[in-house]
Structure 1
Amino acid sequence: MNDYEWIKKILQKIKERKPLIHHLTNYVVMNDSANITLAIGALPIMALEEVELDDITNMASAVLLNIGTLKQDEINHMLVAGKYANFKNLPLILDPVGAGASKFRTRTAKNLLQNLKISIIKGNSFEIATLIDLPAEGIGVDATPSNKNYANIAKEAAKKYRAIVLVTGEKDFVSDGDKVFEIEGGSSLMSKVTGCGCMLGSIVASFAAIESDNLLMASLGASIFFKSVGKVAEQRSSLPGSFRNNLIDSAYLIANDEEKLNAIWREEK
């Protein structure tokens, strides 16, 4: 897999097929999520009204649930959209933002996992550890799991929920409950910008829309790609504000420039 030709093929198929990604996501990063989806060639839609969820999901190629700005009515909408996605056998991605920071968020994330067939769970180490009831250290969303074996956290969560799990951080870990992949790279500035994880969620959903029969490879490819995006964005800017904009520019640039991709991955070998 060192040449990453398979990732290039996924990106090419995204541009050709233009899959519609239905986001039920938080309003803090909705615009960034939409723009990075467009940047790689997929189409975003953010439909939240229950009366149209059936129609929108019927057109979608993947559905992303993100609990970042959680309200009770949105939980109901996520359950409805998720059930439509399950009925259509669409990839259903959960981003349990802030799980563990409050009982409400933790309960909501677990409720979605219990009532829906989630295909991919993407979250930071604290969020994923919370889903498998591991203790944490620290306060709120800045907490970290007491167990620092993030590869094992990904593996155990994947086993428990029978889903692909992507644990994000300085290093990402992707597991199907059996195999675990470790992905390095990216930029330290990614931790200084709100919504980087949410943007990755959009990329995961876009990759999953194309590779619905191999969600492990879709998640792994999305992680590798976004790490490369972060690296290029940092080369273009060293400050958080401009770095945020450059994430979207860099996603567009390397998704549409095979030579740029080749150069990046040659440096990483």
Structure 2
Amino acid sequence: MDNYDWIKKILQKIKERKPLIHHITNYVAMNDSANVTLAIGALPIMALEEVELDDITNMASAVLLNIGTLKQDEINHMLLAGKYANFKNIPLILDPVGAGASKFRTRTAKNLLKTLKISIIKGNSFEISTLIDLPAEGIGVDAISSNKNYANIAKEAAKKYKSIVLVTGEKDFVSDGERVFEIEGGSFLMSKVTGCGCMLGSIVACFAAIERENLLIASLGASIFFKSVGKLAEQRSTLPGSFRNSLIDSAYLISNDEEKLNAIWREKNDPVC
């Protein structure tokens, strides 16, 4: 992969097709998720009422389930929307936010994976480790896996659930159960702003809406793209509050300014397989 023309083509198709991304997501980052989806040219919708889930999911090009502010009735909505997505063969992305932080979240994430055909699982090392019953340490949603072999965590989770797995962190790891890609980049400030992972989940869904037949490419492209967004955002702002806004601005700039896109990607290393 000596250039990123393939990512440019995905971004161009997103702007041309304007895929509708159905989010059942957490209240903390809902607005940022919607804005970053719009910034790269897709259309967000957040439908939580059971009576409209069928209609909304049928219109969607991808469905994102995020358990960050989980409630019991929301689980039923996720199961229904997921079943509709599976029936229509629509990419279904799971962000198991905080899996491992409580028995409720862990049980819910595993039940969604057992009941639904999840196309892509995106989470940090703690969350993904929890899903494959590996030990983890720390408190809350920012805990980390005790196993530092994140590439292996991604690979084993992908094998177990027959999904593409994206393990996020200082480095991201993307696996289809056989291959593992390591992606560097981003900014340390991404760990200082809530919702960065949720924004990445939205971008993964946008890319999956375009690359439905190659979800490994969709996940890899979304990771590379968002790492680049973080890097540009840090160049534009070095404080957490303004950095949050800069992330959305940078997603828009990289998506629409090919010169800026080329300049920042010239400085990146290719993903390591």
TM-score (norm 1): 0.99
Ranges of 4+ aligned residues in structure 1 off by more than 6 Å: none
- TM-fit CA distance, 1:138: 2.0
Displacement of 1:53: 0.3
Q: Which runs of 5+ in 1 are unaligned?
A: none
Q: For 1:41, what is the secondary structure of its paired residue?
A: coil
SS in 1 for 2:90: coil
Give the superposition deviation at 1:142. 3.0
Cα offset, 1:65, TM superposition: 0.1
User: How many angstroms apart in 2 are the aligned matches of 1:137 and 1:64?
Assistant: 27
Partner of 1:85: 85
Q: 3-state DSSP class of the match of 1:181?
A: strand
Shift of 1:139: 2.2
- Compute the displacement of 1:145 (Å): 1.3
**Per-residue deviation at 1:140?**
2.5
Which is further off, 178-187 or 258-267?
258-267
**Deviation of residue 257 (structure 1)?**
0.7
How far off is 1:51 after superposition? 0.2
- The aligned residue for residue 244 of structure 2 is 244
Q: SS of 1:2's equivalent?
A: coil
In structure 1, what is the Cα distance between the partners aligned to 2:195 and 2:139?
A: 19
Deviation of residue 234 (structure 1)?
0.2
C-alpha deviations, 1:35-85, integer Å up to 9, x for none?
000000000000000000000001000000000000000000000000000
Q: Secondary structure at the match of 2:64?
A: strand
Alpha-carbon distance, 1:143 to partner: 2.1
**Partner Cα separation in structure 2 for residue 252 and residue 185 of structure 1:** 18
Distance 1:139 1:60 in 2: 35
The whole-number CA distance in structure 2 between the counterparts of 1:188 and 1:162 is: 31
Partner of 1:39: 39
Whole-angstrom CA distance in 1 between matches of 2:121 and 2:185: 21
Deviation at 1:266, TM superposition (A): 1.0
1:148 alignment partner, SS class: coil
**Distance in 1 between residues matched to 2:142 and 2:87, nearest whole Å:** 36
Pairwise CA distance, 1:146: 1.3
**Alignment partners' CA distance in 2, 1:193 and 1:18:** 27
Q: What do the CA deviations read for 1:184-217 (whole angstroms, capped 9, x no partner)? A: 0000000000000000000000000000000000
RMSD: 0.5
1: distance between equivalents of 2:119 and 2:137?
28
TM-superposition CA deviations, 1:113-147 (whole Å, max 9, x none): 00000000000000000000001122232321111
**Partner SS for 1:208:** helix
* Distance in 2 separating the partners of 1:153 and 1:58: 33
In 1, the alpha carbon distance for the partners of 2:156 and 2:6 equals 27
For 1:262, what is the secondary structure of its paired residue? helix
Mapped partners of 1:142, 1:229: distance in 2: 21
Task: Find the aligned partners of 2:84 and 2:173 in 1 and give their Cα distance.
Answer: 29
2:12 and 2:212 map into 1 onto residues whose CA distance is 15
Count of matched residue pairs: 267
Corresponding residue for residue 253 of structure 2: 253
- What are the Cα deviations for residues 12-42 of structure 1, in whole angstroms up to 9, with x where unaligned? 0000000000000001110000000000000
Q: Report the Cα offset of residue 87 of structure 1.
A: 0.2
Partner Cα distance (2:104, 2:2) in 1: 42
Give, in angstroms, the shift of residue 254 of structure 1: 0.6
